[in-house]
Amino acid sequence: MENETYISPIAIDLGAAHTGVYSLIYKAGSTLADVEEKSGVVYELDPQNNTLLMVSRRQKRHQRRNLDRRQMAKRLFRLIWEKTFWFAMGRGRCPKHWILV
């Protein structure tokens, strides 16, 4: 008996109001015209039960992005500082004749 390998890709679209899923199953080495099984469905959220745009969610998301952006900027500054000036940042590592502003 021959070992048959099947491929089953799944595509998911996570939209705000509509979420869609598409899947199909076919034998390895065959063309997409020979697809044995395919299906797709779109899920709709009930607008009365779900709030799609929540102010608190947006505030938290923007707050998190701001914190991440600040941390990445500090990390980039530290990397440039250490690679350009060959100087490790931190307490007690600064030569006395250097003035850090």
Domain ranges of the chain: 6-44, 53-89
pLDDT digits (tens, 9 = 90+) for 19-28: 889 988 888 8
Report pLDDT for 65: 92
The separation between CA 7 and the C-alpha centre of its own chain, rounded to angstroms, equals 25
Report pLDDT for 14: 81
Separation in Å, CA 23 to CA 4, 8, 29: 19, 7, 18
Give the N- to C-terminal CA distance of the chain in Å, as an integer: 76
Which ranges of the chain would DSSP assign to H, the alpha helix? 55-85
Confidence of residue 101 (pLDDT cuts 50, 70, 90): very low
The pLDDT of residue 64 is above 80: yes
Q: Which residue has the higher pLDDT, 74 or 52?
A: 74
The pLDDT of residue 5 is above 70: yes
**What phi and psi, each to the nearest 5 degrees, are found at residue 26?**
-150, 160
